[in-house]
Amino acid sequence: MPTTTLANAAVQLLSTAPRAQDWPALQDRLRTFPKDTRGKHPCDYTLWACQTGGGSAENSIPGLAAIFACMESIRLVDDLLDEDPEGLQHQVGIGTTANLALALQAAAQHVITQASGIQAGREDILASLHSMMLDTAFGQNEELRAAG
């Protein structure tokens, strides 16, 4: 399955999260599916991990969607905290950007809890996502404390 098809499927899946269809700013953010700076697309990593475990490209879509949503949430919060001059907050406001970051975290959890093909590992996947977000928040807070 081509990377573009996987990315589109992941965005479509995230669009099924509660409130997503009613929130134009969230829909706009979902359309920004990123390309990794080293030339690899996030799809490549989740597809590789899924296939290594015996899964198919289709099986990788919920994980891909969740990872994308969490990565984007982290990016939004980082831009807010670092006062990035290119950050979305300059286009839509600080409050909207913060709310989008929270919505993306919720959407990530939603796609995993609703995915039909991962019953056995669902708790581990959710624990990993939670750990990723908590560790990121802790690291961001440490950065703020160090800055004074």
pLDDT tens figures, 50-76: 777 777 888 888 988 998 899 899 999
pLDDT in tens, 13-37: 999 999 999 999 999 888 877 655 5
Distance of CA 91 to the CA centre of its chain: 20
Residue with tokens 């590992």: 121
Band of residue 112 on the pLDDT scale cut at 50, 70, 90: very high
Domains of the chain, first to last: 3-147 (1.10.600.10)
For the chain, helix (H) and strand (E) counts, in that order, are: 7, 0
The structure's pTM equals: 0.85
Whether 14 contacts 69, CB under 8 Å: yes
Work out the angle at residue 67's Cα, subtended by the Cα atoms of residues 63 and 69, and round it to the nearest 5 degrees: 115
Q: Does residue 4 surpass a pLDDT of 60?
A: yes
pLDDT in tens, 130-146: 999 999 999 999 998 99
Host H or E run for residue 120: none
The rounded percent of the chain whose pLDDT value lies above 90 is 55
How far apart, in whole angstroms, are the C-alpha atoms of residue 111 and residue 85?
32
